Amino acid sequence: MITQQQPETSAAKGTGLVLMTLASAQFLMTLDSSVMNVSIATVAQDVGTTITGIQSAITLYTLVMATLMLTGGKIGAIIGRRRAFAIGLVIYAAGSLTTALAPNLGILILGWSFLEGIGAALIMPAVVALVAVNFPPERRPSAYGLIAAAGAIAVAAGPLIGGAFTTYASWRYVFVGEVVIAFVILALTRRIQDAPSFLCLDWVWQSSACCVRVSGDGSPRRKEPQHSSDSHWWHGSFSLVCSSCGD
């Protein structure tokens, strides 16, 4: 009985760590949309710009993230969700570091709006897919709920965190802290089970591979190229063969 309980306990700890990792990523991505709301005037003074300029940087971050979300999801489907998640964390950390060191509005927008926005666009779709892979169906609703709660907490806690750092230290330490958190999450990604890629494309020469054709009933069938009779096939062309990655 004890030997049966030990694997269940370790499995629960493993999924708990995965959930904490994904929820932390969701918290971090959402934090940037609200963390500087009460510190806009201080940030504007430090980088020599106006309040409108800082508001534009915050808005651009959300806009870049939302615009590239579908692209980030497609990239994750091609290269793997965990890999996209890790790449997004590295880009996000680079953006946070750039923002922390920004001397002017242009560098601030580059780091905060574009680099962090691109990183978030890779991370957030991957979080959704990784929850589906790492949790059984009966546990997914609670996992999704906790991750959504982490984002909601970030929206509420963002102004408090930004205000505290701005009052007692510097707003730049917020972004330095994001770099540290991003690399901690990156170190924990090895515990996450990856989602399989749904797209596997192989380019092969038509003269050395089977061509995929569609038969009359709509089902694909393989056909060896017959250069003597099928003169309409271009011998030097590429044929796109779609196959599952497990074949």
**pLDDT computed for residue 98 by the predictor:** 97
DSSP state of 212: E
Please report the DSSP string for the chain in residue order. -HHHHHHHHHHHHHHHHHHHHHHHHHHHHHHTTTTTTTSHHHHHHHHT--HHHHHHHHHHHHHHHHHTHHHHHHHHHHH-HHHHHHHHHHHHHHHHHHHHT--SHHHHIIIIIIIHHHHHHHHHHHHHHHHHHHS-TTTHHHHHHHHHHHHHHHHHHHHHHHHHHHHHS-THHHHHHHHHHHHHHHHHGGGSPPPPPS--EEEEETTTSPEEEE-TTS-EEEE---TTT-TTS-TT-EEEEE--TT-
**Blockwise average pLDDT, block size 10, the chain, 247 residues:** 44 76 94 89 94 94 95 94 96 97 96 96 95 92 95 94 93 96 94 68 37 45 45 35 36
Joined tokens for residue 41 = 């005037």
**pLDDT computed for residue 244 by the predictor:** 35
pLDDT tens digits, one per residue of 98-119? 999 999 999 999 999 999 999 9
pLDDT tens digits, one per residue of 26-53? 999 999 888 988 899 999 999 999 999 9
**pLDDT computed for residue 194 by the predictor:** 84
CATH architecture of 2-191: Up-down Bundle (1.20)
Domain boundary assignment for the chain? 2-191, 201-242
pTM of the model: 0.75
